């Protein structure tokens, strides 16, 4: 089970998937809780299998109550996991899993009054062993039944059936991711950075400190700003935002300030007023923009490679 839950964790922590899941905090919290409970209940079930069964009656009941409740919790967790991911999966439609739930409810869930006075149940104390127990049931028609419950068989069956469901969840996540990448693998994020980008930067450097050529400098700052806008639009087209990728968001945020400052610098030169920053600071800002645009382009290329693969 842990293998499958880890694969699901890997999928939901992928930046695009996580970003979209976090838009609904209720389902994100449900998803995280479900994954934890699937794993935690599996640890409890393992402990039942691998630990020595108590000799004291109280310890026997405690172990039995615990493992049956762990099986029940695990089913709920898988159901809620599917719901949080928008996947249809009714575990009750599986007759064996439903039988396991009914055994739990009859024996330790609601044994003293089941189904609005329809039946009453109790575990035969002298029959309790690690491998199972007898469950005695009385029904409203005065019928009494004795069932031999194999706890170990219940565990084996549930693990088999729930593993199949989790594998289906993984397959659905894989199919969704593949379809998304297929849709955009030919649209390269790197393409928003034109070959003329270095020319724009060169013209910004060239016109720093030259009031008569300030409009040309300002025009090239606006062209750089336009590239930034196209990157944002390209990400939004994929159903994601700048914040989806921490690396992009970090560099993008760093670039906004020097670009704005350079734009204002050239505005002041055009107006024949003294800029708020001097020429050396403007040069440093231009250099910073040049270096970090290269980093942003490299990050975009990495995402393109991921989509292509």
> In terms of domains, do 154 and 63 share one?
yes
> In terms of domains, do 178 and 191 share one?
no
> In terms of domains, do 203 and 112 share one?
no
| CA nearest to 178, candidates 299, 31, 14, 21 | 14
pLDDT, residue 89, reads 73
List, for residues 229-242, the tens digit of each pLDDT value. Answer: 999 999 999 888 88
> In terms of domains, do 21 and 154 share one?
yes
> In terms of domains, do 209 and 230 share one?
yes
Q: Is a pLDDT exceeding 80 seen at residue 73?
A: yes
Q: Among 137, 166, 182, where does a domain finish?
A: 182
> In terms of domains, do 267 and 293 share one?
yes
* Domain of 14, in residue numbers: 2-117+149-182
State the pairing for strand pair 144-150/119-123. Answer: unpaired
pLDDT, residue 226, reads 96
Q: Please give the structure tokens belonging to residue 236.
A: 């939004």
Task: Confirm if 225 and 255 have CB atoms less than 8 A apart.
Answer: no
List, for residues 156-213, the tens digit of each pLDDT value. Answer: 999 999 999 999 999 999 999 999 999 999 999 999 999 999 999 999 999 999 999 9
Task: Confirm if 106 and 121 have CB atoms less than 8 A apart.
Answer: yes
List, for residues 243-264, the tens digit of each pLDDT value. Answer: 888 899 999 999 999 999 999 9
Q: What is the DSSP letter of 128?
A: -
Q: Is a pLDDT exceeding 90 seen at residue 91?
A: no
Number of domains in the chain: 2
pLDDT, residue 243, reads 83
Handedness of CA 96, 98, 101, 106 (dihedral sign): negative
149 membership: H or E segment, kind and range? strand 144-150
Q: Please give the structure tokens belonging to residue 267.
A: 């505005």
Whether 292 maps to a domain, the answer reads yes
pLDDT, residue 34, reads 98
> In terms of domains, do 156 and 230 share one?
no
- Residue 116 sits at φ, ψ, to 5 deg, of 55, 60
Whether 11 maps to a domain, the answer reads yes
> In terms of domains, do 155 and 281 share one?
no
Average pLDDT, whole number, for the chain? 94
> In terms of domains, do 56 and 189 share one?
no
pLDDT, residue 42, reads 98
> In terms of domains, do 199 and 50 share one?
no
Confidence of residue 130 (pLDDT cuts 50, 70, 90): very high
> In terms of domains, do 163 and 248 share one?
no
């Amino acid at each position: 089970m842990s293998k499958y839950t880890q694969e699901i964790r890997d999928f939901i922590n992928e930046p695009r998937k996580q970003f979209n899941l976090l838009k609904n905090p209720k389902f994100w919290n449900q998803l995280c809780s479900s994954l934890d409970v699937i794993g935690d209940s599996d640890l409890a079930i393992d402990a039942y299998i691998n630990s020595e069964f108590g000799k004291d009656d109280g310890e026997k009941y405690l172990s039995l109550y615990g493992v049956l409740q762990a099986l029940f919790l695990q089913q709920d967790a898988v159901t809620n996991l599917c719901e949080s991911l928008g996947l249809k999966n009714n575990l009750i439609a599986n007759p064996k899993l439903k039988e396991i739930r009914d055994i739990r409810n009859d024996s330790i869930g609601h044994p003293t009054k089941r189904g609005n006075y329809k039946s009453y149940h109790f575990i035969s104390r002298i029959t309790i062993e690690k491998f199972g127990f007898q469950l005695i049931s009385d029904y409203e028609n005065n019928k009494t039944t004795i069932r031999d419950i194999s706890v170990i068989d219940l565990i084996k069956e549930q693990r088999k059936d729930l593993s199949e469901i989790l594998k289906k969840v993984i397959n659905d996540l894989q199919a969704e991711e593949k379809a998304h990448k297929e849709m955009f693998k030919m649209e390269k994020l790197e393409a928003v950075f034109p070959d003329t980008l270095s020319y724009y930067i060169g013209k910004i450097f060239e016109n720093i400190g030259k009031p008569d050529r300030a409009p040309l400098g300002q025009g090239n700052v606006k062209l750089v700003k336009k590239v930034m806008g196209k990157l944002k639009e390209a990400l939004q087209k994929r159903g994601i935002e700048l914040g989806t990728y921490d690396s992009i968001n970090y560099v993008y945020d760093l670039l906004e300030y020097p670009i704005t400052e350079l734009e204002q610098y050239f505005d002041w030169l055009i107006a024949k007023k003294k800029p708020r920053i001097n020429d050396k600071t403007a040069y440093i800002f231009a250099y910073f923009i040049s270096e970090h645009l290269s980093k942003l382009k490299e990050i975009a290329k990495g995402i393109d490679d991921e989509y292509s693969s």
